[in-house]
Amino acid sequence: MDDASIIELLRKRDESALTELRDRYDRLCRYIAGNVLSQREDIEECVSSAYYEVWNSIPPAAPDDLKSYLCKIVRNIAINRYEYNSAAKRDSRFTVSLDEIGDCVPATPDENIALSDLADAISRFLRSQDDVHRRVFIRRYTFGDSLADIARRYSLNEKTVATYLFRTRNKLREFLTKEGYDYE
């Protein structure tokens, strides 16, 4: 079943949509949550919470890309769970990638600019990048892959991956500045 059909089932409040969603994206959701969380129970709870959130948000939300929408929800829930689990004992495993991207994306966008506008600007920027740079960036900051995992996946050296990420973050910062996002 394709994404449009699943979204339509969600709009009709048909519970079979959850089964279809799970059949289609469960492995991906577990992978994303597993890159942030280490406990199997936390991963399962995170993925289940994501399905629940999708169920509650569609409608009124009408995502154009169900896969990206679900991945974003899973990642955010996993990060929240990770922060909860490690509140007093910071582990740099995942926070490193968040710190990296935090330097080029404004933490608090202008009150007149919606977060969805910022997300659209980042998407436009990523579409303008070559395929390898875009994929490396997404693997690191959406899926939370380590530099070593990305290097293996794309047959690159870890230092090359780090250089790609550094340059892409700098280009993103410049792009967002031109788009009117303030970093002060």
CA gap 46, 37 in Å, rounded: 9
Asked if residue 36 has pLDDT above 90, the reply is no
- Looking at the domain covering 3-88, what would its CATH class be? mainly alpha
The DSSP result for 73-120, as a single string, is HHHHHHHHHHHHHTSSS--HHHHHHHHHHHTTS-SS--TTS-HHHHHH
Residue 1 has pLDDT above 90, yes or no: no
DSSP output for 143-162:
S---HHHHHHHTT--HHHHH
Whether the predicted pLDDT of 14 surpasses 80:
yes
pLDDT at 160 over 60: yes
pTM above 0.85, yes or no: no
- Domain borders along the chain are 3-88, 95-178
How far apart CA 103 and CA 180 sit, in angstroms, is 16
- Please report the pLDDT score of residue 178 as a whole number: 87
Fold match between domain 3-88 and domain 95-178: no
Q: If pLDDT is split at 50, 70 and 90, which confidence band does 44 have? A: very high
- The CATH number, out of the four listed (1.20.1250.20, 1.25.50.10, 3.40.50.300, 1.10.10.10), of the domain defined by the range 95-178: 1.10.10.10
Per-residue DSSP letter, 129: S
